[in-house]
Amino acid sequence: MTVSIKGKRVAFLATDGVEEVEYTEPRKAVEAAGGTAELVSIKTGEIQALNHMDKAGTYPVERQVSEADAADYDALVLPGGVANPDFLRVDTDVVRFVRDFFTAGKPVAAICHGPWTLVEAGVVDGRTLTSWPSLRTDLVNAGATWVDEEVFVDDGLITSRNPDDLPAFCEALVDRVAAQQPA
């Protein structure tokens, strides 16, 4: 990628059960493009990533979501994993944090099961997005149009289906962050 996002800060919102590659690959893409990535979570210490259902690496939490402000970031990434978004979507600070990105018109990228958190935040009504196929009914019931595409960008909302889509997802994320105008 030759796009630069130097000076841009991207929050990665995740907790235990995050699909490792859906966290690490977008983070690498942000950092390779010159951006700063920060892991925001509902807990302190470290989070336990998974490779599907098997334990993978652990990652240090850089900020608790209860202390995070969307105004401090240029974009938000919601990695998947089945457990991760399920834990996140019941946390009121998470829901507030996600909504604040939409209110501010900042890019939000969600992959695989990540859009579950968007449903809880009430931000998918009238939008078109993709996800892991099992989320289709939840997204449609929340007012979204679901499509089966590698990556779909609806204004500032970037979504992908699964880890196979990561190259397109990462490229769309970096391109959208680069195009974001300063507040």
CB 103 within 8 A of CB 97: no
CB 139 within 8 A of CB 131: yes
Whether 113 is catalytic: yes
Cβ-proximal residues to 22 (8 Å cutoff; 6+ apart), any chain = 79, 80, 81, 111, 112, 114, 163, 166
- The H or E element spanning position 19 is strand 18-19
54 bridge partner residues: 51
Given the residues 113, 127, 161, 176, select the one marked as catalytic: 113
Q: Which residue in this structure is represented by tokens 């699909």?
A: 19
Given the residues 49, 50, 70, 112, select the one marked as catalytic: 112
Whether 112 is catalytic: yes
- 34 alpha-carbon distance from chain centroid: 18
- The H or E element spanning position 102 is helix 92-103
| Residues designated catalytic | 112-113
